[in-house]
Structure 1
């Protein structure tokens, strides 16, 4: 395999995926609508085909122009997108669909690819685009991959939890970086274990799956360790050389200022743990947390992310209330 088509390719996961395949000697083509700045515009190793991935004829044109060995699908948000792609790219050496840990339909720990049930997906949910139907839509996309595998298509999926790292436009992890940078005392809600994954590890996992994975299979991806939210904050503080006090709060305390624990970025009320042995058996390895946090902190633009949690004024009121308890 030596040519890769990345559907998406200019933002966050797609951007790192392009870099991963370039680093391993692939010729890479990005396929997207061209609505976002292309960080590879001046890189002669990267080609660009413009088109709307929701239009089958545009995908077919990309297939004819590129004739890719590998297709990485970063922006399939409805099941019909996956069904179309697995038909159009059915003779490629590998098609990898980015699903999600949200595709799992029950809360258990850990969630395992071959044991934990997926979300159901109604016809109405399958064509929706709201956050509430994200998990069901991703699960139905997985089922499209399984069906393609049964037809002999080398189609596979990857299920990441929340992804963090440089160029993350969601800025969820950045909330805590900003807080550690700017404040000495932080409110941190009591939170259950929540698997995260470094964006470069998702990119490397997709390459490993494309090269070594089995048709019709899904693969979880996540950090090797499971830091608590407080430990993620500690890791950020250690990288920044900051001495911060974490003030732990629960629902009772937060009620006093009309806050809830899920107002804070990365909070989780039930453990979300993904078993990753299946992916590791293919030879994939995760980046150590200290290294991934260092790279994420280094790339953080000052001020970014603070909108993903309570404003500082409310936080100060909460800290004041706690002093009266």
Structure 2
């Protein structure tokens, strides 16, 4: 019997049931909440190109190689992933084992390099956890001197929005901090096309305090090509209006977010005062530890 025939026979014995479209843990390929022989079977079928997994299931199966103590995967499902899931099922793969997919890749050490329309490069690095008024948040530091503090919140009690990426604070290159009260919901999962949410926010920044509103809409799903590669991404549109001391600010942000990767591009436009100004950037390179 050939190796392929033996593998096919094993697949028949495993008889995996259908994959569920839900947020899944690494290794839980069929999304039923446990890691067992059925997940090994689904991973093996994917490695042999016998089945097309959903994006969530594919990333749940992509568990090799180890990228950092709390994240792994290389974008491909092959025999190394099958063996790692099997080892985990048998208790041979030690902790730490990530409990969930890193839909928002905030692992410390992750880096992205963006290039704007003028050819300038900006490096963004996840520095690690920081404290923002008693709340933990990941600091994403830019080579321009700015820092953004983000947090991924799980909401298991809310089946419509089990996962949210929130912006808690921005610190500009001069060290002036703007804290968003409450935090701004940058992206809600699942990011279903047509989904819209609104929010009110107060922004203390030094001696100034601004108040405003924002509206975010998931425009749709698009394939985006950048110098770093091609990504299946979600197009997001956000409109932010704020006032302070009679001064109005109206910003429009449009970007493509690639799940499990990050921002593929960003376009920001200031519509408020004077001539129209805009900036844009495309991801040029990515590096994971």
TM-score normalised by structure 2 residue count: 0.27
TM-score normalised by structure 1 residue count: 0.25
Say which structure is richer in strand: 2
Work out which structure has the larger RCO, using CA pairs closer than 8 Å and 6 or more positions apart in sequence: 1
Say which structure is richer in helix: 1
